[in-house]
Amino acid sequence: MRETQAKNGCQVQKYKMLIDTDPGVDDAMAILMAHERAEVIGLSVAAGNVGLEHTLANALKLVEVIDTQTPVYAGCATPLVHASEDAADVHGSDGFGDTAYTPSTRSAESEHAALAILRASHEYAGSLVLVALAPLTNLALALKLDPDLPLRVARLVVMGGAVTGQGNYGTVPAEFNVGFDPEAAHVVFSAWPQFTLVDWEATMRHGLDFARFEAMLARGDARAKFYDSITAKTRAWSRGRGRPKLLIADALAMAVALEPDIVTRAEDHHVGVELDGKLTRGATVVDWQDRNARPANARIVLEVDQSRFEALLAAAVGAG
């Protein structure tokens, strides 16, 4: 997306990308992918995988490793309403595999992430692609401040949910990004007329062979070495749980954001968020038969071209 493709003589609109993120090792891969192929105008950072102090430090370290001037904005330190468990067991207590990396000397912008999202939506009205890879707290806050936000955003791609209830967090059907802040997801899903949803179940269908992935990292450049170091713990954790494949949820969502035609199967349906229910809080409830009157608010990605997905991963770490 970085280069403008000229089609039949005219320039295809050049999109700008803003990534809302809670790095987190799979966020890291998505951010590497984005900087390889898109014009990234900012990272808005939320709490999620680990606390905001770590997700912010990780985002600053990552832009330093990528050697880019992408601005980083600190967002909300807690979910909108209820406190939630983080995912340090998956990502390490610092969110980046506890490697004790040398912190970046860079600092975050003074502007709050929610305000940065709104400003960017005006600055790049009609050409901004928002990629939401974290709990949706920042985006929900931005929507509460300005309900017209969706009118100015060209595309919203959300990594979140588990569309048939095969989740990975809290209650059985909940996926982490939605389950960590269900109220925020409800605000976003209720306000956004049409967004693209890349869920946990699609992530499980597009897992990566451990050995092939590690061979790819071995072929890569400094980005690959950094990514290899911060993901060692998560890969060991995945293997330890007997997962047959390596799952990189945010990378799959980023692949869809970068190359929308990578999607080979998708369906448009209404998706809601369960806020109560001891057994179901944080569930994404899909109206598969379109039985209720509410229009489809989500394009649910069901399948992508796996080889193109893996090519984007390789390019992101210099192993293309």
Could you list the residues that contact ligand RIB (CB under 6 A)?
22, 24, 26-27, 48-49, 87, 133-134, 159, 168, 175-177, 200, 249-250
Looking at the Cβ atoms of 72 and 159, the one nearer to ligand RIB is 159
For 29, 169, 187, 260, the CA distances from 130, given in Å and listed in that order, are: 17, 24, 16, 13
* C-beta of residue 281 within 8 angstroms of C-beta of residue 84: no
Helix (H, G, I), strand (E, B) or coil at 268: strand
Q: Which residue is nearest to ligand RIB (CB)?
A: 176
Looking at the Cβ atoms of 175 and 228, the one nearer to ligand RIB is 175
Q: How far is the CB of 25 from ligand RIB (least distance, A)?
A: 7
3-state secondary structure 80-139: CCCCCCCCHHHHCCCCCCCCCCCCCCCCCECCCHHHHHHHHHHHCCCCEEEEECCCCHHH
- Distance (Å, rounded) from C-alpha 105 to C-alpha 70? 14
Size of the site for Ca ion (CB under 5 A): 6
Strands 72-74 and 39-45: parallel
Residue 234: which of ligand RIB, Ca ion, none does it interact with, CB under 5 to 8 A by kind? none
Touching Ca ion, residues 23-62 (CB under 5 A): 24, 27
Looking at the Cβ atoms of 21 and 124, the one nearer to ligand RIB is 21
Going by C-beta distance under 8 Å and a sequence separation of 6 or more, which residues neighbour residue 110?
none
Looking at the Cβ atoms of 58 and 121, the one nearer to Ca ion is 58
Choose the binding region for Ca ion from 95-103, 131-139, 221-229, 281-289 (rule: CB under 5 A): 131-139
Q: How far is the CB of 21 from ligand RIB (least distance, A)?
A: 8
Residue 310: which of ligand RIB, Ca ion, none does it interact with, CB under 5 to 8 A by kind? none
Q: Which of 208, 210, 225 is nearest to 312 (CA)?
A: 208
Amino acid, res. 120: A
Residue 36: which of Ca ion, ligand RIB, none does it interact with, CB under 5 to 8 A by kind? none
Residue 200: which of Ca ion, ligand RIB, none does it interact with, CB under 5 to 8 A by kind? ligand RIB
Looking at the Cβ atoms of 168 and 238, the one nearer to ligand RIB is 168
Looking at the Cβ atoms of 70 and 168, the one nearer to ligand RIB is 168
Q: How far is the CB of 271 from Ca ion (least distance, A)?
A: 18
Looking at the Cβ atoms of 22 and 228, the one nearer to ligand RIB is 22
Helix (H, G, I), strand (E, B) or coil at 244: coil
Residue 266 per-residue DSSP state: E
Bridge partners for 268 per DSSP: 299
Helix (H), strand (E) at residue 152: helix 149-152
Instruction: Find the binder of Ca ion among 17, 133, 185, 208 (CB under 5 A).
Output: 133
Residue 168: which of ligand RIB, Ca ion, none does it interact with, CB under 5 to 8 A by kind? ligand RIB
Tokens 């605000």, residue located: 187
Q: How far is the CB of 212 from Ca ion (least distance, A)?
A: 23
Tokens 């693209």, residue located: 196
Tokens 């490793």, residue located: 65
User: For the packed helices 210-219 and 222-240, what is the interaxial angle rounded to 10 degrees?
Assistant: 160
* C-beta of residue 24 within 8 angstroms of C-beta of residue 95: yes
Residues that bind Ca ion (CB under 5 A): 22, 24, 27, 133-134, 250
